[in-house]
């Protein structure tokens, strides 16, 4: 336990068979925030199977919010508060929490925290095939 999954969408479908944010609308001016927290692995498997129709959002381990803006900031790692946490996107680290260690100056510097906002007038087009 201790893992956190955050999924941010402005459309219902992540792919043709994954309805990650069933309440998302193209032009409602909101981001749909899906948070899965403290979910046992056995339950996580059933959540992954129910994501096809969007019913995963009914799980007590899932929080579903509609937001206008979102600030992501890594904290400390669960189980080891001496190490900074990370935020990754598709497996790539995009932000690191403070772990009190000076990193190599050649190491890629990650900005933290960062802000995501919905701007009116912008649109995401989702077109199957």
Say if CB 26 and CB 11 are below 8 A apart. Answer: yes
- Say yes or no to pLDDT of 66 above 50: yes
pLDDT in tens, 82-92: 777 777 777 77
Query: Among residues 69, 72, 83, which one has the least CA distance to residue 112?
Result: 72
* 4-9, strands of its sheet edge to edge: 4-9, 31-37, 62-67
DSSP letters of 55-100?
Answer: GGGGSTTEEEEEESEEEE---EETTEEEEE-EEEETTEEEEE---S
- Say yes or no to pLDDT of 21 above 50: yes
Read off the pTM. 0.70
Handedness of CA 15, 115, 96, 37 (dihedral sign): negative
């Amino acid at each position: 336990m201790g893992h956190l999954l955050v999924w941010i969408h402005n459309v219902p479908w992540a792919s043709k068979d994954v309805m990650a944010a069933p309440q998302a609308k193209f032009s409602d001016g909101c981001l749909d925030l899906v948070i899965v927290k403290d979910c046992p692995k056995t339950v996580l498997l059933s959540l992954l199977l129910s994501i096809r129709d969007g019913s995963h959002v009914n799980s007590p381990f899932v929080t579903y919010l509609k937001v206008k803006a979102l600030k992501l900031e890594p904290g400390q790692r669960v189980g080891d508060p001496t190490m900074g946490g990370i935020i990754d996107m598709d497996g790539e680290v995009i932000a690191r929490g403070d772990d009190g260690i000076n990193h190599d100056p050649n190491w890629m510097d990650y900005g933290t925290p960062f802000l995501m906002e919905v701007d009116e007038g912008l649109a995401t087009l989702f077109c199957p095939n």
